[in-house]
């Protein structure tokens, strides 16, 4: 099943954080996530809250884009059905971009633009729009949609990238190389590791045949 992620910069989407800063609204989101679409009356009944309180908080959640609503016909008139929009919300802080030296050459490599891979399940890829392809199917790593990937995970294996030698094309000598990337032994939504054996994680970074770190 596809999972929808929302990635926000709090400086740009402060309304999302404000919408999440309420125990009642968190209860509403959890209820919709677990039970699926519900109308306002059902939400009020499940949470034992006044209808007016639920309506006010639903407006805030909808304004922040955390839920969506649709109008359906009911026995008497119409009813508004509420849907949870995202399964997870990730908060990220953007860093200020420092000016580059005149001879600096920068290459920004998309996460999904690897040239070779060999992975084992559990594994997967996802973008800000949701899961790419199928979960826990290694062949999904060949899906062309991988170019949109913002998060990649696998149990064992490797992914390999090839970078253009732009310094050679510019007839410059490489004096320093710097790599910036984010690696983790866990991904959002995973349960805690159940044993010491499973918690031993090794992540290695190689450049050609040189081990950069682990």
**Domains of the chain and any CATH numbers:** 5-90 (1.10.10.10), 116-213 (no CATH)
pLDDT category at 144 given cuts 50, 70, 90 is very high
Report the pLDDT averaged over residues 35-43. Answer: 93
* DSSP string of 34-56, one letter each residue: HH--EEHHHHHHHHT--HHHHHH
> What are the C-alpha distances in Å from 50 to residues 33, 34, 76, 167, 209?
21, 21, 21, 66, 65
190: number of Cβ within 10 Å: 10
Q: What one-character DSSP code corresponds to residue 94?
A: P
Residue 140 backbone dihedrals phi, psi, to 5 degrees? -60, -25
Q: In angstroms, rounded to a whole number, what is the distance separating the alpha carbons of residues 45 and 55?
A: 13
Structure tokens at 70: 């649709």
Report the pLDDT averaged over residues 41-63. Answer: 94
What is the per-residue pLDDT for 10? 83
Question: Which tops the pLDDT comparison, 185 or 45?
Answer: 45
Residue 99: pLDDT over 70? no
What is the per-residue pLDDT for 124? 93
Q: What one-character DSSP code corresponds to residue 18?
A: H
The residues that bridge with 128 in the sheet, in sequence order, are: none
Residues 195, 188, 94, 97, Cα dihedral to 10°? 60
Measured at the alpha carbon of residue 142, what is the angle toward residues 141 and 147, in degrees to the nearest 5? 80
Segment of 82-86, 96-100, 177-181 carrying the highest mean pLDDT: 82-86
> What are the C-alpha distances in Å from 144 to residues 32, 113, 148, 150?
32, 9, 9, 14
Q: What one-character DSSP code corresponds to residue 140?
A: G
Question: Which tops the pLDDT comparison, 141 or 214?
Answer: 141
């Amino acid at each position: 099943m596809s999972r929808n992620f929302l990635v926000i910069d709090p400086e740009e989407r402060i309304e999302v954080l404000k919408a999440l800063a309420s125990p009642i609204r968190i209860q509403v989101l959890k209820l919709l996530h677990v039970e699926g679409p519900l109308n306002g009356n059902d939400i009020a009944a499940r949470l034992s809250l006044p209808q007016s309180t639920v309506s006010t908080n639903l407006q805030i959640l909808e304004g922040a884009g955390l839920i969506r609503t649709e109008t359906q016909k009911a026995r008497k008139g119409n009813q508004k059905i509420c849907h949870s929009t995202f399964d997870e919300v990730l908060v990220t802080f953007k860093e200020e971009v420092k000016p580059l030296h005149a001879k600096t050459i920068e290459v920004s490599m998309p996460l999904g633009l690897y040239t070779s891979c060999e992975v084992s399940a559990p594994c997967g890829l996802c973008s800000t729009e949701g899961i790419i392809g199928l979960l826990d199917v290694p062949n999904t790593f060949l899906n062309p949609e991988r170019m949109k990937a913002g998060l990649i995970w696998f149990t064992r294996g490797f992914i390999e990238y090839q970078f253009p030698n732009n310094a050679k094309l510019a007839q410059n000598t490489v004096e320093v190389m710097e790599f910036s990337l984010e690696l983790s032994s866990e991904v959002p939504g995973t349960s805690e590791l159940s044993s010491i054996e499973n918690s031993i994680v090794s992540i290695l970074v190689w450049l050609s045949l040189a081990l950069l770190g682990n």
